[in-house]
């Protein structure tokens, strides 16, 4: 539940999320004093930074320091601003749109560059209402407080209203900082086609082509550059094929979508522009000012307008659509690639352990060390068993069949359906993502994260981990968890497919003689 007046609160000492060792950022000038005092062995090249010193590890007492950390642990009130415009036809179907308003110091780029775009959308929608228009579905605009300290404002609001949100919310659309450059969208892969269509209708303010055409061009050139990783090469190939929708990246953490997607199972998007504005070095600092943002990050605020036009279209099209905007084949195909990735990860981990065991047997580490320098043996890797991926494999086959049947039925018959059936389909689409939630959530004290497909990595900060229960279990050598979470993921994907089959049944009507493929 949310942190309401009567909510139970942990003591600071009992809170598992508060580190017992303080972690504080320091300037490079202060760091240089500490690093230059070290007198031990010269570190490997990959350990060295950019200071004009020789980097050492360890040494004498000259490198010791006494640090005093003083923290203010008092409670402060957060202020979320919630604006609701009730829908004229489907008031209990909600389109959620959010951006946080709190920032470290001035916060011009993060978060206000995104917040002003959201305010521009709200103003434009207000003008539409003054002209006599009303949204079919309820629009909920959300200005969050407490994002920087730990996504607090959005998390507490989402937890407080969890039951109502699970019943009514169709999508959560998030923005944060914004800059000049290319459209970047991460989110639920059932929304990939929906985002792609909007991107073709927004004009890039610098080139005059659509923002979709510009991001495709960028992806194609980036895929051929030196050092391009496998993901960049894959996206470049897709971008070069106009028949394919531009792919979404998965969501990890770092902004206010986390509670909606990973805790409540509400389809979510995070939208922004970037890649060309010069914003490096000022992030979360006193230098993130209006002057800096307007001169270096988005001169003329051209991409603030582009962001408002992009997210505004996403909001209004979801509000006004008579049929679901989701296309589930994109989700099914994406999950299939995630399955391939974790299987390859297991094979690679097994090969690495086997190779290391051979090196130990041959005394290779000791013999190859410089005998004049101190060194130690690496930690032996655990032998990697063969895992049971069958629950996910079977569920993916079922999911692909159900998604194909749903998308085909909607395309063939959706337009002619009665209004009541269309409304039920949209409502069902809003609940479908919740099938991906499983109790008891992720292991290792992360039970709050219940989505079996998307999560922030335990050790990757904002970075996403897909099929996290299995992927991280392999990475962390928790072998029993691999099979446990493979079964849970399979169960979640099967439940997802069941909801797609329910949709096919709604589309085909009571007279249909055959169920969707794989339905029981």
pLDDT at 400 > cutoff 60: yes
Per DSSP, the three-state class of 59 is coil
pLDDT of amino acid 17? 78
**Which pair of structure tokens corresponds to residue 356?**
């290391």
The Cα-based distances of 149 to 6, 322, 510 in angstroms read 22, 39, 52
- C-alpha dihedral (296, 297, 301, 302), degrees to nearest 10: 110
> Rounded to whole angstroms, how far apart are CA atoms 457 and 393?
23
Q: Which of these three, 256, 288, 321, is where a domain ends?
A: 321
CB 321 within 8 A of CB 95: no
Is residue 3 domain-resident?
no
Judge residue 89's burial from the number of C-beta atoms within 10 Å of its C-beta, 0-12 exposed, 13-18 middle, 19 or more buried. Answer: middle
Q: Is 243 in the same domain as 198?
A: yes
Is residue 23 domain-resident?
no
pLDDT at 520 > cutoff 70: no
Q: Find the helix or strand (DSSP H, E) in which 183 lies.
A: strand 181-187
The Cα-based distances of 26 to 29, 39, 163 in angstroms read 8, 21, 42
pLDDT at 511 > cutoff 80: no
Q: Is 146 in the same domain as 246?
A: yes
Closest among 242, 307, 302 to 273, alpha carbons compared: 307
For the ranges 14-23, 203-212, 495-504, which has the lowest average pLDDT? 14-23
pLDDT at 394 > cutoff 90: yes
pLDDT of amino acid 374? 76
CB 260 within 8 A of CB 158: yes
The CA radius of gyration of the chain, in Å to the nearest whole number, is 25
The two beta strands, 268-275 and 181-187, are: antiparallel
Q: What is the pTM of this model?
A: 0.93
**Which CATH number goes with the domain that contains 109?**
3.40.630.10
Q: Is 343 in the same domain as 389?
A: yes
Closest among 204, 138, 274, 189 to 496, alpha carbons compared: 189
Q: Is 385 in the same domain as 485?
A: yes
Judge residue 238's burial from the number of C-beta atoms within 10 Å of its C-beta, 0-12 exposed, 13-18 middle, 19 or more buried. Answer: middle
* Residue 221's pLDDT band (cuts 50, 70, 90): very high
In terms of phi and psi (left: phi > 0; alpha: psi -120 to 50; beta: otherwise), the region of 354 is alpha
Is residue 59 domain-resident?
yes
pLDDT of amino acid 131? 96
Is residue 15 domain-resident?
no
Q: Is 258 in the same domain as 404?
A: no
What's the pLDDT tens digit per position in 420-429?
999 999 999 9
Q: Which of these three, 321, 343, 358, is where a domain ends?
A: 321
Provide mean pLDDT across the span 69-73: 86
Q: Is 413 in the same domain as 434?
A: yes
CB 204 within 8 A of CB 300: no
Share of the chain above pLDDT 70, in %: 97
pLDDT of amino acid 76? 87
Domain count, the chain: 3
DSSP 8-class letter at 283? T
Q: Is 503 in the same domain as 408?
A: yes
pLDDT of amino acid 313? 98
Q: Is 169 in the same domain as 276?
A: yes
Residue 75 phi/psi, 5-degree rounding, is -85, 140
pLDDT at 62 > cutoff 80: no
Is residue 114 domain-resident?
yes
Cis peptide before 447 (omega within 30 of 0): no
Q: Is 367 in the same domain as 448?
A: yes
Provide mean pLDDT across the span 211-231: 94
What's the pLDDT tens digit per position in 155-166?
999 999 999 999
> Rounded to whole angstroms, how far apart are CA atoms 449 and 151?
14
- C-alpha dihedral (161, 108, 302, 186), degrees to nearest 10: -40
Q: Is 248 in the same domain as 343?
A: no
Closest among 38, 37, 44 to 56, alpha carbons compared: 38
* Residue 65's pLDDT band (cuts 50, 70, 90): confident
Q: Is 299 in the same domain as 412?
A: no
pLDDT of amino acid 243? 93
Provide mean pLDDT across the span 33-47: 89
Q: Is 467 in the same domain as 390?
A: yes
* Residue 185's pLDDT band (cuts 50, 70, 90): very high
pLDDT of amino acid 513? 42
Is residue 71 domain-resident?
no
pLDDT at 445 > cutoff 80: yes
pLDDT of amino acid 40? 85
**Which pair of structure tokens corresponds to residue 170?**
């169709």
**Which CATH number goes with the domain that contains 394?**
1.20.930.40
What's the pLDDT tens digit per position in 480-489?
999 999 999 9
Residue 49 phi/psi, 5-degree rounding, is -100, -155
* Residue 70's pLDDT band (cuts 50, 70, 90): confident
Provide mean pLDDT across the span 66-94: 92
What's the pLDDT tens digit per position in 48-61?
999 999 999 887 66
**Which pair of structure tokens corresponds to residue 433?**
């993502």
Task: State the residue range of the domain holding 500.
Answer: 329-508
Is residue 162 domain-resident?
yes
pLDDT at 514 > cutoff 50: no
Provide mean pLDDT across the span 453-473: 94
What's the pLDDT tens digit per position in 326-355?
999 999 999 999 999 999 999 999 999 999
Provide mean pLDDT across the span 435-459: 95
Is residue 338 domain-resident?
yes
Choose between 136 and 13: higher pLDDT.
136
Residue 290 phi/psi, 5-degree rounding, is -55, -45
């Amino acid at each position: 539940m949310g942190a309401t007046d009567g909510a139970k609160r942990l003591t600071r000492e009992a809170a598992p999320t508060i580190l017992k060792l303080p972690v504080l950022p320091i300037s490079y000038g202060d760091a240089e004093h500490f690093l230059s005092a070290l007198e031990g062995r010269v570190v490997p090249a990959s350990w060295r930074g950019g200071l004009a010193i020789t980097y050492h590890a360890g040494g004498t007492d000259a490198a010791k320091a006494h640090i005093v950390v003083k923290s203010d642990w008092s409670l402060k009130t957060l202020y979320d601003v919630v604006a609701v415009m009730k829908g004229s036809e489907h008031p209990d179907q909600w389109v959620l749109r959010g951006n946080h308003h709190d920032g470290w110091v001035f916060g011009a780029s993060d978060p206000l560059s995104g917040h002003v775009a959201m305010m521009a959308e709200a103003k434009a929608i207000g003008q539409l209402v003054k002209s006599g228009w009303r949204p079919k579905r309820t629009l909920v605009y959300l200005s969050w407080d407490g994002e920087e300290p730990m996504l607090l404002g959005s998390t507490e609001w989402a937890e407080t209203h969890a039951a109502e949100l699970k019943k009514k919310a169709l999508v959560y659309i998030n923005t944060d900082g914004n800059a000049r450059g290319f459209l970047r969208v991460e989110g639920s892969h059932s929304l990939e086609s929906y985002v792609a269509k909007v991107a073709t209708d927004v004009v890039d303010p610098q080139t005059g082509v659509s923002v979709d055409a510009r991001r495709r061009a960028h992806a194609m050139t980036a895929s051929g550059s030196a050092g391009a990783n496998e993901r960049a090469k894959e996206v470049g190939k897709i971008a070069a094929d106009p028949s394919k929708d531009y792919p979404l990246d998965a969501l990890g953490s770092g902004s206010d979508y986390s509670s909606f997607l990973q805790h409540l199972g509400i389809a979510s998007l995070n939208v922004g522009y970037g890649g060309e504005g010069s914003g490096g070095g000022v992030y979360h600092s006193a230098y993130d000012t209006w002057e800096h943002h307007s001169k270096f990050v988005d001169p003329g605020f051209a991409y603030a307008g582009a962001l408002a036009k992009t997210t505004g279209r996403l909001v209004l099209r979801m509000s006004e659509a008579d049929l679901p905007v989701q296309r589930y084949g994109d989700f099914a195909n994406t999950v299939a690639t995630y399955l391939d990735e974790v299987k390859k990860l297991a094979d690679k981990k097994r090969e690495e352990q086997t190779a290391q065991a051979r090196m130990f047997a041959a005394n290779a580490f000791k013999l190859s060390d410089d005998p004049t320098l101190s060194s130690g043996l690496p930690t032996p890797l655990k032998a990697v068993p063969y895992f049971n991926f069958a629950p996910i494999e079977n569920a993916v086959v079922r999911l692909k069949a159900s998604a194909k049947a749903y998308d085909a039925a909607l395309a063939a018959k959706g337009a002619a359906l009665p209004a009541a059936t269309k409304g039920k389909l949209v409502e069902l689409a809003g609940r479908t993502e919740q099938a991906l939630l499983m109790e008891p959530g992720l292991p290792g004290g992360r039970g709050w994260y219940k989505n079996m497909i998307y999560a922030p990595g335990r050790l990757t900060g904002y970075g996403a981990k897909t099929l996290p229960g299995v992927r991280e279990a392999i990475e962390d050598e928790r072998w029993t968890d691999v099979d446990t979470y493979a079964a849970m993921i399979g169960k979640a994907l099967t439940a997802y497919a069941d909801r797609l089959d329910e949709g096919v049944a709604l589309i085909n009507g009571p007279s249909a003689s055959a169920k969707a493929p794989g339905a029981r």
